[in-house]
Structure 1
Amino acid sequence: MEDAKEVIPGSAYHSSPADSSTEVGQNYDHPRSWSTRMFDSFKRDPNAHATPPGTVGADGKVFDVETANAATADSGLARHLKGRHLQMIAIGGSIGTGLFVGSGSALANGGPASLLIAYGIIGIMLYCTVHALGEMAVLFPVAGSFSAYSTRFLDPAWGFAMGWNYALQWLVVLPLEIVAATLTIEFWNDSINPNAWVAIFLFVIIGINLFGVKGYGEAEFLFSIIKVIAVIGFIILGIILDVGGGPNGEYIGGSNWRDHGAFNHGFKGLCSVFVTAAFAFAGTELVGLAAAETENPRKSLPTAVKQVFWRIFLFYLVSLTLVGLLVPFTDKRLINGSSSADAKASPFVIAIKNAGIDGLPSVMNAVILIAVLSVGNSSIYGSSRTLAALADQGQAPKILGYIDRKGRPIVSIGIASVLGLLAFLAGSSKQTDAFNWMLALSGLSSIFTWGSICLAHIRFRKGWKAQGHTLDELAFKSQAGIIGSWIGFLLNCLVLIAQFWTGCFPIGYADMTPGEQVESFFEVYLAAPVVILFYVVYKFWKRTPFIRSHNMDLHTGIRELNIAELIAEERAEQAQWPAWKKAYKFFC
C-alpha cells in the first residue's frame, strides 16, 4: 500500500472515482469552475478498467489474481444504481414496441391462442434464463456480464463472438429506434421533416447517457413507471370493455375466439409468433449487465430477478389475453403498419378505437414513443459497457476501454452515439430498406445471448461442483436450477429452428419470387452467419481452448471477500421471518 501511495498522491484521501467527486490522483487547494470540473471529468481514470484484470483474457489464460486485486479492488465503472433502479430496469426492460405494436402482427399471423402459447413458452424460457443470469451476476457482478461469462466458463472465442454480437445488437438498435421514434410522431403530424425529430431524440438520449449510469438509471426508472402504468391501465380498461362497460355497451366476452377461431395459419402461424415473442422480450437481460454498476447487487439483484415472473404473467399474458378477446385477428389494421412502432397497427390502440373512445389512442401513441426512447437509451448503455469490457479483455481496441473520472466508458459511449447518426436515413428514400436490414443484423442476437447465458450457467455449476464448492455457498440460487437452464437452452435452440423454417418458407411464400424468398430469409436470419463467422475466425486466430471445469476461475470478480459469513448472517435473519414474509420474499 505504501508503494501505491507513492504512485498515486492523495490516494489515502480519495478511495475511487465511483465514490468521490474529486478525481483520483489530484488534490485541489482552491475551488474550480464548473467548466473546469466538467472538462476534467472526461480525463482518463488511471486506476479504472471495465473488467478487473483478473478476468480470463482472450488467450484463455488467467491473469495473476493477487496482482489484479492489489491493483484494482473494484471496477472503474461508477456504482450508482440503487435497488429501485434495478427493479424498474427489470420490470420495464422488455415492455416496449414488441408488446405494444409487434403483438398485433403476431395476433394476425397466429391467432389469439398462438399468441398466448408462444408468449407463454418464451416467458418460461426467459424466466429460466434470467434466474441463471442472476445466480452468476450476484456472485460475479462484472462488466460485460454475458461475454465475460462465456469467456470464463465456455470458450474465450465464444465470449468474443457473444460480446461483439451483443454490442452489435445495441449499436444497430439505436438508429433503428430513433427512426421508429420519428414514425410515432407521424401519428400526430407528418408535415415536419423527420430529420428534425432525429436530431432532437439523439440529443436527448446522448445527453442522458453523458450523465453516467445515474442518468441512465433515473431515466429508465421514469420510463418504466410510465410503461407499467400504461399496461395496468389497459388491463383494467380491457376488462371493462370485454364485459360491456364501454361507451357502446357491447358485451364482447369470447366472441372473437368463437366466431373467428383460436388459431390462424396452423403450426407455421404458431412458429412465426414464437419469433415475434422472442424479439418482444429483448432487453430482459439488461438487469444482469447493470449488476456491475449497482451499489449492492447481492441484495438488489435477487429481488429484481424474481420479479421477472410477475412481469411475464401480468404485463404480457394478462394484457395479451385481453387483446385476443377484444381484437379479431382478421382485422386488417394489424398488418398494415408502416413500421414496428406504428401505433395504427397496435392492437391496444385498435381495441380502444373499436370501443369508440376518443383521445386514448393518442395517449397510447405517447406511451409507444416513450417505450421507443427507452430502448434507444438502453442501446447506448448496453453497447458501451460491453465494448469497454471487451477492450479490457483484449478482444477489442484498447481505446474502447477508456473510462473517465466519473466512471463512464466515454469512448464507447461516443462510438455508440456516432452510429446513432445513421438515423438520419429516416429522411431519405432508403428509409424502409435501412430499417429492415438494420433489424436483420440484430434480430437473432438476443436468442444467441440467452442461449449462451443458460449454457454458461450449466458449465458454471459443473465447475463449481468440480472444485469442491456447494450450492449453500451461493448468495442467490436460481429457482429453476440446472434443469431450468437446460430448458432455457433447448427452448432457445427451438426458437432458432422455428426462425429458420419461417425464414425459408414464410407465410404466403407460394406467391413470392425466388429473389423475394432469399431476401426474406436473410432479413430474419442474417445474425446467425455473422455470429458463426466471428467465432470461427477468432477461434483459429487465437487458438483458444475450451474451458475445463477444474480450470475455471471461480474467484476473480467476487465483490465481498467474506461472502460465507454474510450469507450465514442473512440466513439466520431469514429464519426468524414470519411465514408471510418468507412466502413474499420467495416470489418477490
Structure 2
Amino acid sequence: MVELRHLPPSERIESLRDHDKDNAVESSRSIDPESGVKRGLATRHLSMMALAGIIGPGLLVGSGGALSSGGPASLIIGFGIVGIIAFSIMQSLGELTTLYPSGGAFMHLADRFVDKAFGVAVGWNYFIIWFAVLANEYNVICSIFVFWSDKVPLWGYFLIFWSAFLGFQLLGVTAFGEAEFWLALLKLTGLVAFFLFAIIYASGGLIGQDEALGFRYWHNPGAFPNGFRGVATVFVFCSTFYAGVESVAVAATETKNPSKAVPLAIRQVVWRILFIYMGSAFFFGLVCPSNADGLVSGASRALKSPMTIAIQTAGWEGGVHLINAFIFATCLSAVNASIYIGSRTILFMAQDGKAPRFLGRTNERGVPVYAIIFTNLLGALSMMNVSTGAGKAYGYIVNLSGVSTFLVWGAISFTHIRFRQAWSYQGRTPAELPFQSFAYPWNAYFGLAANLFLVFVQGWQTLSPFDAGNFVDAYILLPMFPIIYFGFKVWKKTRYWRLDEIDLDSGRRKDLDKAVKEVTEGLSSVNDEANANSGAKKSLWKRLWRNF
C-alpha cells in the first residue's frame, strides 16, 4: 500500500485493475502453514463455485429418474424442501467457517464443538458422498462416449478419462479454480438456453408447432402419478443434486481471502437454489412427461435426460447429441470438483489422525498427490456399469450418497447449535460474530430435525412391498455413522466436550481479518481519490463489466 500511495491517481487505477485485493493480502503467504495446501483460489472462483460449480449430470440426467418416480409436482416439492434445508445448512456453515476458516472445515469444527469421534464419523460420511458422486460422473461420461462410438469399450473410456482428470488435478488448485469458473459460466448459459426453449415450446411458439403445450403433462400422466411413494423417492435424488453447496467450506483453506470470499459465496447459494434447482425442476416437468420412454434408460447405452426427451418430442431427433455434448461439459466440471472435494476431505482427515497419515502429505506446490490418487481410484466404482447397465448403476450409487448427505447436513446443524451454546455460555454475544446465521436458533434446529427425518423417510418406498435388496441399498450407510462414532470413541477414549471446555479462540485468523480490513480501507481511499481525479472517465459499461 505504501507503494500505491506514491503513484499518481491514474497509475493507481491501473495498478488496482491488474492486481486483485486477494493478492495484496496473501501474496507472501501462498502456502497454508497448517495444511500445506496452496491458497490459490480467488474470490471469483469461490463465488462461481457457490453459484453453479459442481453441478454435473446428476441434475441433468438424474432428474429423469426423479421425474419418472414422482412426477412434476413431486420434483418441485423435492427440490423446494431440500432447497430450504440446504439454505439452513449454508447459514450455519457460513457463521462457522467465516469465524474459523481452518483446514478440514466442518469435520474439524465437529471435533472442537462436539467430540473428535463425531468429527471422524462426519468426515468419512462426507468422503463417501464424494467418491460416490465421482463414480456417478464417470458412469455418465463413459456412457455418453459409448453412445457416440462403441468401438472403444466402456472400461477403455474410463481409463482414458481417469488418466486425464488425474493429470489435470495434479496441476494444482489454481488450475482447478479457473476451470470451474468457466465451466460454471457455460452451465449457466446452457440452462438459460433450455429455459428459453421450454417457455417457447410450452407457449406453442416453435416453428411447425400446431398447439401450445401448456401444462399438459401435469394432467396426463399427472402431477403425482405415484403418490407419496414418489415424493419420498425424489428426496434421495434431490439430496444428491444439492450435495456440494457446502463445499465452499472445504475450499476456504485454499482461498486467498476467506473472510471476504466465504460470506459472499454463502449468499450466492440462494440464487443457486432459486434459479438452477427450482428453475430446472419446473421446466423439466413442464416439457417432459414423467412416463416418457427412455427417461430412465436401463438398457440404453446413453443416459437420457428430460432435456433430451423434450427436444426430441418437439421434433428435433438430433437434439440428443446437443444435450449429450452439454452433459459432457457438465461432466468435466463435476468430475473435476468431485476429485477436488474428495481429496481435500481425506487430506484434512489424514492430517488430523482420522485417516492413514500418508494421505495427508502435500508436495512443494501445495498439491495433495496421494489424496488425489486415492480419491480418483475409488471412481472405479462406476465400472459396475459394465454388468448392471448405466441406469441401474446410477440408482445404486445415488442411494449410497443420499443418506450420507442428510447425515452430514444434520451434523453441521448440530455442530452450529453446540457452537452457539458454548459462545453464549462463555459470555460472548452474537454481535461479535462476523457473519450471523439467519433466524438462529430456529433455522439450525429446523435443519437438524429435517435432515434426521429425511434420513429415515428416504427409503420408505422399499417397505411396501418389501424389497430386501433395495432396502439394504437405501439404509446400509445409516448404521455406519454410529458404528464409526462409538468405535473411534472407545478406541481413542475421546470425550464429549462440556460447554465450558470448548475452545472458541484458536484458529480465528484475527491477523488475517485485520490485514484484510487495512487493505480494504487503503484501496477504498485510493479509489475515492482516483474517482475524484478521473471524473467520468470510466464508462457505465466498464463499471458494469467489472462488477460482473
TM over 0.5: yes
2:226 is the alignment partner of 1:265: yes
Query: 1:56 is matched with which residue?
Result: none
2:195 is the alignment partner of 1:235: yes
Contact 1:138 1:301 in 2 (8 A): yes
Query: 1:487 is matched with which residue?
Result: 446
Report the Cα offset of residue 519 of structure 1: 0.9
**Once structures 1 and 2 are overlaid, which stretch shifts more, 419-428 or 482-491?**
419-428
Report the Cα offset of residue 169 of structure 1: 2.9
Report the Cα offset of residue 479 of structure 1: 2.7
Query: 2:472 is matched with which residue?
Result: 522
2:444 is the alignment partner of 1:474: no
Query: 2:366 is matched with which residue?
Result: 407
Query: Structure 1 420/331 Cα, relative in aligned 2: closer, same or farther at 3 Å?
Result: closer
Query: 2:213 is matched with which residue?
Result: 252
State the alpha-carbon separation in 2 of the partners of residues 429 and 322 from structure 1. Answer: 30
Contact 1:110 1:263 in 2 (8 A): yes
Query: Structure 1 567/470 Cα, relative in aligned 2: closer, same or farther at 3 Å?
Result: farther
Report the Cα offset of residue 330 of structure 1: 2.5
Contact 2:298 2:392 in 1 (8 A): no
State the alpha-carbon separation in 1 of the partners of residues 463 and 502 from structure 2. Answer: 40
Query: Structure 1 554/83 Cα, relative in aligned 2: closer, same or farther at 3 Å?
Result: same
Question: Which of 193, 196, 219 in structure 1 is aligned with 2:153?
Answer: 193
For residues 6-62 of structure 1, the C-alpha deviation after alignment (integer angstroms, 9 at most, x for no partner) is xxxxxxxxxxxx95799xxxxxxxxxxxxxxxxxxxxxx9x9542xxxxxxxxxxxx
Contact 2:133 2:338 in 1 (8 A): yes
Report the Cα offset of residue 123 of structure 1: 0.4
Query: Structure 1 352/501 Cα, relative in aligned 2: closer, same or farther at 3 Å?
Result: same
Query: Structure 1 351/337 Cα, relative in aligned 2: closer, same or farther at 3 Å?
Result: farther
Counterparts of 1:270-281 in structure 2, within 5 Å, are 270-281=231-242
One-letter amino acid of the counterpart of residue 399, structure 1? F
Counterparts of 1:93-132 in structure 2, within 5 Å, are 93=53, 95-132=55-92
2:185 is the alignment partner of 1:225: yes
2:341 is the alignment partner of 1:382: yes
Report the Cα offset of residue 471 of structure 1: 1.7
Report the Cα offset of residue 144 of structure 1: 1.5
Report the Cα offset of residue 552 of structure 1: 1.4
Contact 2:54 2:337 in 1 (8 A): no
Structure 1 alignment gaps of length 5 or more: 1-17, 23-44, 51-75, 575-587
Query: Structure 1 359/532 Cα, relative in aligned 2: closer, same or farther at 3 Å?
Result: same
Question: Which of 354, 363, 366 in structure 1 is aligned with 2:325?
Answer: 366
Contact 2:423 2:504 in 1 (8 A): yes
State the alpha-carbon separation in 2 of the partners of residues 114 and 439 from structure 1. Answer: 18
Partner of 2:331, secondary structure, is: helix
For residues 76-125 of structure 1, the C-alpha deviation after alignment (integer angstroms, 9 at most, x for no partner) is 21111011110121122352223211222222222211111111010000
Report the Cα offset of residue 160 of structure 1: 0.7
Report the Cα offset of residue 524 of structure 1: 1.7
For residues 339-374 of structure 1, the C-alpha deviation after alignment (integer angstroms, 9 at most, x for no partner) is 8x9442x11111111111354331211221222332
State the alpha-carbon separation in 2 of the partners of residues 170 and 554 from structure 1. Answer: 30
Query: 2:489 is matched with which residue?
Result: 539
Structure 2 alignment gaps of length 5 or more: 1-25, 525-547
Please give the TM-score of this superposition, normalised by the length of structure 2.
Answer: 0.84
One-letter amino acid of the counterpart of residue 519, structure 1? G
State the alpha-carbon separation in 1 of the partners of residues 199 and 181 from structure 2. Answer: 27
Query: 1:577 is matched with which residue?
Result: none
Query: 2:528 is matched with which residue?
Result: none
Query: Structure 1 566/466 Cα, relative in aligned 2: closer, same or farther at 3 Å?
Result: farther
State the alpha-carbon separation in 1 of the partners of residues 480 and 173 from structure 2. Answer: 30
Contact 1:108 1:329 in 2 (8 A): yes
Query: 1:585 is matched with which residue?
Result: none
Query: Structure 1 358/331 Cα, relative in aligned 2: closer, same or farther at 3 Å?
Result: closer
Contact 2:136 2:397 in 1 (8 A): yes
Partner of 1:528, secondary structure, is: coil
2:287 is the alignment partner of 1:326: yes
Query: 1:182 is matched with which residue?
Result: 142
State the alpha-carbon separation in 2 of the partners of residues 269 and 211 from structure 1. Answer: 43
For residues 472-517 of structure 1, the C-alpha deviation after alignment (integer angstroms, 9 at most, x for no partner) is 2222222343321111111111211211322333xxx3xxxx7xx1
Partner of 2:344, secondary structure, is: helix
Contact 2:232 2:459 in 1 (8 A): no
Report the Cα offset of residue 451 of structure 1: 0.9
For residues 297-337 of structure 1, the C-alpha deviation after alignment (integer angstroms, 9 at most, x for no partner) is 11111121111111111112122212222122222322334
Partner of 1:444, secondary structure, is: helix
2:266 is the alignment partner of 1:316: no
State the alpha-carbon separation in 2 of the partners of residues 247 and 257 from structure 1. Answer: 24
Contact 1:48 1:403 in 2 (8 A): no
State the alpha-carbon separation in 2 of the partners of residues 504 and 401 from structure 1. Answer: 42
Identical pairs, percent: 37
Contact 1:93 1:286 in 2 (8 A): no
One-letter amino acid of the counterpart of residue 350, structure 2? A
User: What's the Cα RMSD here?
Assistant: 3.1
One-letter amino acid of the counterpart of residue 487, structure 2? V
Query: 2:40 is matched with which residue?
Result: 80
Question: Which of 481, 506, 518 in structure 2 is aligned with 1:556?
Answer: 506
Query: Structure 1 120/465 Cα, relative in aligned 2: closer, same or farther at 3 Å?
Result: same
Counterparts of 1:377-456 in structure 2, within 5 Å, are 377-421=336-380, 423=382, 438-456=397-415
One-letter amino acid of the counterpart of residue 354, structure 2? Q
Contact 2:57 2:331 in 1 (8 A): yes
Contact 2:296 2:303 in 1 (8 A): no
